[in-house]
Structure 1
Amino acid sequence: MSDGERGSGECPLNGLRYPLAYQTAWEGRRPLGIMIENHPDARPQYGLSSADVVYEAVAEGGITRFLAVFYCDRGTEAVRAGPVRSARTYFLDWLSEYGRYPLYAHVGGAYCDQRTGVGCLNGARADALGQIGRYGWAGYNDLDEFQIGAPVYWRDFGRGVSLEHTMFTDTQQLWRVAARRALTDVDAEGRSWTRQFTTWRFADEARRPPAGSAHTGVRIVFWNSAPGFEVEWIYDSVTGLYRRIMGGLPHVDPGTGQQITASAILVQFQEESTADDGYPGNVRLLYGTLGAGQAKVIQNGQVTDATWRKMARWSRTLFRDRYGREVRVQPGKIWVETVPLDGSVTES
């Protein structure tokens, strides 16, 4: 989109200005989060380049998963997204930052089986489906494929991979389901989703580093024992964007044919632990999403040491610099990378 096509409508999620037609579209809906997997058989994924904000964290076994949040970008155009995968509890905490009853699309999720006790030990802390029920989301803003099915969700058998890596959906169909449930920009009681939403502070303009002082990029390692899931973000000094490398290869979204880019990467270091819930292999994970911790803000060719803070499930994760000032985020596509305390971020 050229500067001449931009209007005065500023996206509250990413700070970009879009044509007024886009603003008209987003003002009639609410943020939509879609769980997209990152198993090698799930690549290439559709939809990531069209999300306003993307959260990435390990789901199990060192394999990361994405929560792609859609609201402003692409206006009324349907965005194919997937492969869609199951819910995890920590992604619920991050999605809860997007106002009252954010839409959540997924295929099932971590659970507690009361009949067998699987997933129920130690307080069933990884029971994402149970939490969805307790939050009052089930059958309302929760858009579980198990409850909706085709044609909103469909399988692409032509990918030649295992069944679990073939589920897709599209954003416009999901927003239509929500509208039938009286969930547009307001809920069934007429309350706007923005009542519980805090936007990040966005920079007024790009602040490019002095000539010769910009880095080449950064490398993020989630688990040292899981090669193939490390991420590189390569800085383009001409555009001011970071280009994503996944497992050593350019990470391309086939829906747009373009390499995934970001204007800002917000890294939050959080304690990772196993749920110890009785699930086979003890593979389900938990993250310390509430509280505070160390962070790094990557934008404009530089890395800034920072801290993150989130005090309640529905409160915004805020990033502050070493002086305690809230970081001004560069407008554009934003990625939030949750890295375990023993993970690493290195600058090149």
Structure 2
Amino acid sequence: MFKDKKIILFALIAYFAATGISYFVFAKSPLASQFSSPVPPTTDSKGNLMFDETLPKTEACPINGQKYSKQQKAWWDKHRPLGIMVENHENSRPQSGINSADVTYEVVAEGGITRMLNIYHCQAPVQVGPVRSARTYFLDWMSEYGDAPLYAHVGGANTPGPANALSQINEYGWGAYNDLNQFSIGFPTFWRDYNRLGHATATEHTMYSTTDKLWKFAEEDRELGAESKDGTSWTEGFTPYKFKEDASSKGASQSIHVEHWTDYDEYTVDWTYDPAANQYTRKNGGVAHVDKNTNKPLTARNIVVLYQRESNANDGYENNAHLLYRTEGAGDAVVFMDGKQTKGKWSKDSRTDKTVINDAAGEEIEFNRGKIWFHILPLDGVLRVK
């Protein structure tokens, strides 16, 4: 009897020892991360997704290099990049959701009025708008974000000719697939809010959506999650930018003045460098530009100015307002980060290739981790730096 008890005791000791050793070995192996399950995010009283900000930030966003928790990465790994057209007419401000974009492209759409393509992937879902129409050159930048990137807009230029964005969307195979045109989707994914801005405004400044509604629609109606129906990952064909940690030596102060078109005071942009936060804060038309969702000023960690040839489409559209930009090829570029200015060149080999930014020595520039804001200026655009 005593002998049997000793055998059982030794067996139990051997079992727990083996279990402990196995756990230790497995936990330290690369396989462990493949099977770990981060605690899912929670929601607040309004149903907004909430990530635990106390968790270690070890995972780099593939779009702008900003680091977040494994919990947040597990969430963004389930969807693909989403581009949303947001207008910048003075009567549309303050817009919603711009600060939550990982990357922003800003360029004149017509009549000196700029428009933005905001790329969303890694940050928590937000309301975005006012959403506006598609333009051909935005398709070229959207095409840089891998296989079938989601593109949300309200209609678009459709006059026959080189600026016919809606026709090009179909030519690229996006129509009724990764293209999220409000004209064919409607409520409740998109809706009009006539009171959100707190003042009377025209109907064209009232269309909104949310990133989670758009991701949900894409997954449920178009079978476009992180992978397409045939199993192709969105990362197919995607080339990320290179990123670095903040410079140890930073500029003390810097102000950047941008005029896409001259003599359009409502659309001049001024960025002021904040050395403590190592970021730039934006004014538009001489007024602090804020995000309606949070009432916080718009900021960016990297400001990139691309000089590109601008021309009229000459497509017969009213006042010849449709524009074209030479998005492919090469040209001058200026990059601002860490309170410093770097002159260089941009190049883009084809519609789907990344716009590469090199310094004067021909080396690809490494951006700070965080928001990248692209200003696309015509060759005679104004850039003043102090």
**Alpha-carbon deviations, 1:55-91, whole Å to 9, x = none?**
00000000000000000012xxx31000000000000
Does the 8 Å CA contact 2:100/2:123 hold for their aligned counterparts? Answer: yes
1:327 is matched with: 365
SS of equivalent to 1:309:
strand
**Alpha-carbon deviations, 1:291-336, whole Å to 9, x = none?**
0000000000011101000001000001000100000101111101
Q: Which of residues 223, 235, 245 in structure 2 aligns to 1:194? A: 235
Separation of aligned partners in 1, 2:248 and 2:296: 24
Does the 8 Å CA contact 1:306/1:320 hold for their aligned counterparts? Answer: yes
Q: Return the letter of the residue paired with 2:68.
A: Y
Does the 8 Å CA contact 1:62/1:225 hold for their aligned counterparts? Answer: no
Q: Which runs of 4+ in 1 moved over 2 A?
A: 1-7, 213-216
| Correspondences of 1:125-140 after superposition (within 5 Å) | 125-140=162-177
Does the 8 Å CA contact 1:214/1:302 hold for their aligned counterparts? Answer: no
1:142 paired to 2:182: no
**Alpha-carbon deviations, 1:80-134, whole Å to 9, x = none?**
00000000000000000000100000000000xxxxxxx22xxx10000000000
Separation of aligned partners in 1, 2:283 and 2:55: 29
1:171 is matched with: 211
Separation of aligned partners in 2, 1:229 and 1:200: 28
| Correspondences of 1:82-161 after superposition (within 5 Å) | 82-111=129-158, 119-120=159-160, 124-158=161-195, 159=197, 160-161=200-201
| Correspondences of 1:1-348 after superposition (within 5 Å) | 4-74=54-124, 78-111=125-158, 119-120=159-160, 124-158=161-195, 159=197, 160-180=200-220, 181-203=222-244, 205-209=245-249, 213-348=251-386
Separation of aligned partners in 1, 2:87 and 2:169: 20
Q: Return the letter of the residue paired with 1:129.
A: L
SS of equivalent to 1:55:
strand
1:114 is matched with: none
| Shift in Å, 1:5 | 3.6
Q: Return the letter of the residue paired with 1:147.
A: S
SS of equivalent to 1:130:
helix
| Shift in Å, 1:257 | 1.9
Q: Structure 1: which 5+ residue stretches go unaligned?
A: 112-118
Larger Rg: 2
Does the 8 Å CA contact 2:253/2:275 hold for their aligned counterparts? Answer: no
SS of equivalent to 1:296:
strand
Does the 8 Å CA contact 2:81/2:150 hold for their aligned counterparts? Answer: yes
TM-score, normalization by structure 1:
0.93
**Alpha-carbon deviations, 1:271-299, whole Å to 9, x = none?**
00000000011000000000000000000
Separation of aligned partners in 2, 1:260 and 1:243: 6
Q: Return the letter of the residue paired with 1:81.
A: V
Does the 8 Å CA contact 1:182/1:188 hold for their aligned counterparts? Answer: yes
**Alpha-carbon deviations, 1:2-21, whole Å to 9, x = none?**
98544321101010110111
1:115 is matched with: none
Does the 8 Å CA contact 1:215/1:347 hold for their aligned counterparts? Answer: no
Does the 8 Å CA contact 1:42/1:83 hold for their aligned counterparts? Answer: yes
Q: Return the letter of the residue paired with 1:186.
A: E
| Shift in Å, 1:174 | 0.2
| Shift in Å, 1:208 | 4.5
SS of equivalent to 1:48:
coil
**Alpha-carbon deviations, 1:22-44, whole Å to 9, x = none?**
10111010000000000011111
Separation of aligned partners in 1, 2:363 and 2:265: 36
Separation of aligned partners in 2, 1:17 and 1:6: 9
Q: Return the letter of the residue paired with 2:83.
A: G
The sequence identity of aligned pairs, in percent, is 45
Q: How many residues matched? A: 332
Does the 8 Å CA contact 1:209/1:301 hold for their aligned counterparts? Answer: no
Does the 8 Å CA contact 1:8/1:17 hold for their aligned counterparts? Answer: yes
- Shift in CA distance, 261/219, structure 1 to aligned 2, threshold 3 Å: same
Q: Structure 2: which 5+ residue stretches go unaligned?
A: 1-50
Does the 8 Å CA contact 1:263/1:299 hold for their aligned counterparts? Answer: yes
SS of equivalent to 2:105:
strand
| Shift in Å, 1:215 | 3.5
